[in-house]
């Protein structure tokens, strides 16, 4: 896991559900087929309401120009769809920063080792002046996000032991590393 992530931010509101992240009609693609797996990236966030200000992934592309998502409360609510964090990862997302997460989405993000699900400290997301397209730097070691243009910083909650799982690659690699499985 990188300690510094730089890139453009994509801003979303509260209660972004898993059907907005990856609509059910796109769950037909095989996750173990590299070409089909790319399609999860193409259709990531394609369930956002029509008229959303910016497309997340341009038509016929598999990757987004955005690397970081800002979201409000309850990000990833809805079904327990483990394809949701996969779709964001395939689209090129390196971290999601939200006010809060639906528990199952948070665990799927961590357990699959897709990306670190960071949280704003003290509902900071409502106080910032960040907007879609801003270039930002996320420091995962020191737990802050910085708007590169102005130097404005917002403190983030520490990942704690979750960082070890992400660094290991996923929950199974972490368990093996800690000697919690019978496998070598």
- Global pTM reads 0.92
Q: What is the pLDDT of residues 39-76, one digit of tens each?
A: 999 999 999 987 677 889 998 899 999 999 999 999 99
Task: Residue 161: give the domain boundaries.
Answer: 4-177
CATH of the domain at 68: 3.20.19.10
- Report the chain's mean pLDDT, rounded to a whole number: 92
Helix (H), strand (E) at residue 35 = helix 34-42
Q: How many folded domains does the chain comprise? A: 1
Residue 162 lies in a domain: yes
SS3 77: strand
Per-residue model confidence as pLDDT tens digits over 105-150: 999 999 999 999 999 987 655 667 889 999 999 999 999 999 999 9
Distance of CA 176 to the CA centre of its chain: 25
């Amino acid at each position: 896991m990188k300690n510094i992530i730089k890139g453009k931010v994509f801003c979303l509101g509260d209660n972004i559900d898993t059907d907005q992240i990856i609509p059910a009609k796109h769950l037909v693609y095989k996750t173990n087929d590299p070409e089909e797996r790319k399609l999860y990236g193409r259709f990531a966030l394609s369930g956002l309401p029509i008229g959303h200000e910016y497309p997340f992934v341009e038509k016929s592309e598999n990757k987004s120009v955005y690397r970081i998502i800002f979201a409000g409360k309850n990000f990833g609510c809805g079904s327990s769809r483990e394809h949701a964090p996969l779709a964001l990862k395939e689209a090129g997302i390196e971290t999601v920063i939200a006010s809060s997460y639906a528990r199952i989405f948070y665990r799927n993000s961590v357990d699959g080792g897709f990306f670190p699900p960071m949280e704003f400290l003290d509902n900071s997301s409502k106080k910032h002046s960040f907007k879609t397209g801003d270039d930002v730097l996320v420091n995962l070691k020191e737990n802050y996000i910085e708007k590169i243009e102005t130097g404005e910083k917002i403190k983030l909650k520490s990942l704690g032991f979750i960082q070890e799982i992400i660094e290991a690659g996923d929950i199974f690699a972490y368990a093996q590393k800690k000697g919690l499985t019978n496998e070598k």
